[in-house]
Amino acid sequence: MGAGHRLWRAPLVVLWVLLGMLLTALLQLLPDRWREPPRQGITRLWMRGLLSLLPLRIRYHGQPTPDTALWVGNHVSWLDIILLGARAPVRFVAKAEVRQWPLLGWLAERAGTVFIHRGQASGASLNQRLGKVMQQGHNLMVFAEGTTTAGDRVRTFHGRLFGCAIEQRLPIQPVALAYRRCEQRDSIAPFIDDDEFSRHLWRLLGASPIDVDVSFLPLIDSHARGRNELARRAHRAVTQALGLADNSSDCQSADSLRAVA
C-alpha cells in the first residue's frame, strides 16, 4: 500500500516544489517594496497546495488573532511550519542550520523564517531583531521548546524567547499541535533525533492518513508579566489542550538553559 501511495504522491510533490521555486524566482524580479504582499499570499497558497498532497486530515480549532501576536507552541515536525503557515500569515524562528537542509530549509525561508545562530538566542540583540519583525505587523511563531518531540510530552518553554512580546506589548497566541492515528499518538509525523529529511518525507508519502489537530488557544496578555511567567502560562495552555502532563514549573530555570527555537 505504501508503494502505491508514493507512486502518485511523490511526483506531484516534486512538481509542486518546482512550481514554488519558479514562483519564487519570478517574485525576485519585483522591486523590494512590491514583493512582500504577493509573497505572503503565494506562500500561503503554495503551503495549502502541499498539504493537499500529503496524507493529512487536518482540523483547525479556534482562530488566530487578527492582530499581531507572538505565537508559541509545541514542536513535533517540519510539518508544523506548513500547517501554521497555510492557516495565517506568520513568520518563524529557527536555528541557522535549518537553512541548509534540503527542501526543508527552502520551505522555511519561503515562510519568512528568522534564522539565528547558536549563542544568539538570548539578550537584547535577539529581542531587537525579533521585535523589528513584529513592528512590521508580522506574526512571529516561536517553538519555545527549542527542539522537536515525539508528541508524547511538551518540553520546557524557554522564557527568554518571550522577551520580544513584552517589549512590543503584544499578546501571546498559544498553539497546540497533535498528530494522531486511530486516536493514538502517530509515530510517522514526528521529526526527531537524527532523522534525515528525505527519509522522513519518503515514509510520510507512503503512509495512510494522519489526523492532525491544530488548536489556537485563548490569548495571553503580556502586559506587566515576566518572561518566565508567560512561559509557564503558555506551556500550561498547550499541555492542557493536548491532554498531557504539565511540567511548567520547570520553566523557572528556563533562562539558565541554552536554546534555539
pLDDT classification of 55: cutoffs 50, 70, 90: very high
Can you give the pLDDT at residue 252? 45
| pLDDT at position 248 | 60
Measured CA to CA, the distance from residue 109 to residue 134 in angstroms comes to 17
- Cα–Cα nearest to 82, from 66, 100, 58: 58
Q: At residue 49, what is the residue type? A: G
Q: What is the mean pLDDT of residues 151-164?
A: 92
pLDDT at position 100: 81
Question: Mean per-residue pLDDT for 147-174?
Answer: 93
CB 68, CB 171: distance < 8 Å: no
The yes-or-no verdict on residue 122 having pLDDT over 50 is yes
pTM: 0.88
Greater confidence (132 vs 233) lies with: 233
- The string of pLDDT tens digits covering residues 205-261 is 999 999 999 999 999 999 888 999 999 999 999 999 999 977 665 544 444 434 433
Neighbours of 224 (CB within 10 A): 8
Using a pLDDT cut of 90, give the percent of the chain over it: 56
- If you average pLDDT over residues 102-108, what whole number do you get? 73
Average pLDDT, stretch 33-51?
Answer: 87
